[in-house]
Amino acid sequence: MAVGFYYKGSELMVDGVSMRSIAEKHGTPIYVYSGGLIVQNYRRIADQFPGMDVMVAYSVKSNSSLAILKLLKDQGASFDIVSGGELQRVLKVGAKGDRIIFAGVGKSKDEMRAALKAGVKEFNLESEAEARRLNEVAKEMRTIAPVAIRVNPDVDAKTHKYISTGKAENKFGVSMKRAIALGNEIRTSLTNLKLQCLHTHIGSQILDSTIHPRLVKKMVDFTETFIRETGAAITSLDFGGGFGIAYQKRQKPLDLKPFAKAVAPELKRLGLSLRLEPGRSILGPCGALVTEVQYIKRGDKKTFVIFDASMTELIRPTLYEAYHEILPVTKRRGKAEVVDFVGPVCESTDFIAKDRKAVLPAQGDLLSIMDAGAYGFVMASNYNTRPRPAEVLVKDGKAKLVRKQDTFDDIVKNESF
């Protein structure tokens, strides 16, 4: 059976199921995921490093739907989490502590306690202050916290400035110089920490395949210096995620081969294992947001196609001027014209695409906003008291509703007056 999104005649399909049948059964706007493609994308990364000891920790922030976490767990994935909430999610689907890496610049004491209790594999430390706090918490709990230091290598990921994280001006990690000082502080005085890994993540949606090999060189050279100067027993290197996908036809997803080729001999030489934290490259292409056209509005200067989906379901175009392909669920003939695809939210920034050339749909048509599997639903909000949408996962040719749309009562349940 074909996996992913494709046309059968004029109908858009997902893993053998028609998208129209899903939208008609469960309503719109609705997120639809291809389980077949999720498995394929995970495997493609996990199998890219043969003969290496590699831990693929799926970045939960990109899509934390329980059904998707369970699917990936069953494939043998580990998890990269950034909050106590994400910790609870992965534990809920049965992940073991030693399959969990805890990142994030602002871990609270409660989150640290919960993660220590769960026996996480590693805390990725982002600052000296965090290291000291974790040491205290571990001491109180009479335990040792396994840690990595997140190093900010000052490498430009050449991606959108809002999703770039490895430059000196970003809030993430510590500089190489300060990492060495922190390594020495851990050895001499933070005795409830066990330093075992160096971590880096320089940004998201990286498409230039020369960047990771350069990062490998920089991190490997640094690791040798680090071990020499701190005496730390480093056993792994974590290169984070960031592998880009093709949102536009003219783009190509990041080719992982140059990275694999660069990293394999170096880690072998140093006797280190590899950790990765991919999110978008696994989930991005596996999700679509299906929407129904509410109105066509001919303005004086522009034509607007008004969706029932908006920035509250998919904020990426608003936040990063991100491009998402928009496909008809049922192809229709007609002349292409330039239109704005917008939502019903009361903001000028509420758009899915601007100045897009497309065959003008009609009121009631279903359209599919593609590559919305990562940073889609997870960034949805209830702004304008809009319910967050339902989610359907298609697995083995069967569509299953894995999250109902919010009800009004869900939205107001913690309020009083």
Catalytic-role residue among 1, 129, 168, 346: 346
90, two tokens:
């992965």
Q: Is the peptide bond before 50 cis (omega within 30 degrees of 0)?
A: no
Closest approach, Cβ 253 to ligand LLP, in A, equals: 12
For ligand LLP, which is the closer residue by CB, 80 or 130?
Answer: 80
138-151 burial: b if 16+ Cβ within 10 Å, else e: beeeeeebbbbbbb
Closest approach, Cβ 271 to ligand LLP, in A, equals: 24
Provide the binding-site residues for ligand LLP, judged by CB under 6 A. 59, 62, 80, 103, 163, 201, 204-205, 240-243, 277-281, 316, 320, 374-375
The span from the CA of 410 to the CA of 220, in Å, is 49
For ligand LLP, which is the closer residue by CB, 242 or 328?
Answer: 242
318-351 burial: b if 16+ Cβ within 10 Å, else e: bebebbbbbbbbbeeeeeeeebbbbbbbeeeebb
For ligand LLP, which is the closer residue by CB, 36 or 376?
Answer: 376
Closest approach, Cβ 369 to ligand LLP, in A, equals: 13
If DSSP codes are grouped into helix, strand and coil, which group holds residue 154? coil
For ligand LLP, which is the closer residue by CB, 140 or 156?
Answer: 156
Closest approach, Cβ 402 to ligand LLP, in A, equals: 21
The residue sitting closest to ligand LLP, measured at its beta carbon, is 241
The span from the CA of 291 to the CA of 401, in Å, is 16
Q: 273, 276, 199, 220: which is closest to 243 by C-alpha?
A: 276
For ligand LLP, which is the closer residue by CB, 241 or 389?
Answer: 241
For ligand LLP, which is the closer residue by CB, 192 or 200?
Answer: 200
Closest approach, Cβ 275 to ligand LLP, in A, equals: 10
Closest approach, Cβ 223 to ligand LLP, in A, equals: 18
196, two tokens:
């075992």
346 is an active site residue: yes
Q: Which residue type does 71 have?
A: L
Q: What is the DSSP letter of 162?
A: G
Q: What is the DSSP letter of 414?
A: T
179, two tokens:
């990492």
For ligand LLP, which is the closer residue by CB, 304 or 323?
Answer: 323
Closest approach, Cβ 58 to ligand LLP, in A, equals: 9
Q: At what angle do helices 66-74 and 35-46 cross, to 10 degrees?
A: 50
Q: The dihedral of CA 298, 302, 306, 307: what is its sign?
A: positive
Which residues make beta-bridge pairs with 328? Answer: 367
Q: Which residues contact 236 (CB under 8 A, 6 or more apart)?
A: 55, 148, 196, 197, 272, 273, 274, 275
**Under a CB-based contact definition with an 8 Å cutoff, are residues 42 and 72 in contact?**
yes
Catalytic residues: 346
